[in-house]
């Protein structure tokens, strides 16, 4: 399956987190938790991009 939605959903959530941090509408503890979540999501996107072996299969 194509990875479009998996990547798009994660990046959208990271954008939301950045907006929440910019808006400054949570306490320090919650902000730290959001920051960790954002870092984790971006690492997952990199993992998704690294998946796959680049195999070439021929069908006669």
Partner 1 sequence: MADAPDTERQAVEPDAREVLSVSQLNDRIASVIQNTPALNGVRCIGEVTDLHQNSTALYFTLTDGDAELPCMIWANRYREMDAGLEDGTEVILEGDIDYWVEGGKIDLKPWEVIVVGDGDQAAAVERLRSELEERGWFDDEQKQQPPAFPERVGVVTSLRGDARYDIQNAIHGQDPTLDILVKDATVQGSNAPTSIANGIHHLDRSEDVDAIIVGRGGGSDSNLQAFNTERVAEAIFTANTPIVTAIGHTDDRLIADQVADVATITPTAAGEYTANSREEFIASEIEPMEQQLETAYETFQQEHEHEQELAEAVDEAAAPEGLPPIYYKAAIGMLLLLLLIITALWLGVL
Q: Give the footprint of partner 1 on this chain (CB under 8 A).
A: 1-4, 7, 11, 14-15, 17-18, 21-22, 24, 27-28, 31-32, 35, 38-39, 42, 45-46, 48-60
Minimum gap (Å) between residue 20 Cβ and partner 1: 9
Q: How many whole angstroms separate alpha carbon 32 and alpha carbon 30? A: 5
Q: Write down the least CB distance from residue 13 to partner 1, Å.
A: 11
Q: How far is the CB of 16 from partner 1 (least distance, A)?
A: 11
How many alpha carbons lie under 13 Å from residue 13 in its C-beta half-sphere?
17
Residue 42: count of CB within 10 angstroms of its CB: 14
């Amino acid at each position: 399956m194509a990875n479009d939605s998996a990547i798009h959903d994660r990046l959208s959530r990271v954008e939301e987190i950045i907006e929440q941090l910019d808006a400054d509408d949570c306490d320090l503890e919650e902000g730290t938790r959001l920051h960790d979540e954002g870092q984790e999501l971006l690492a997952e996107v990199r993992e998704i991009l690294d998946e796959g072996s680049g195999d070439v299969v021929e069908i006669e």
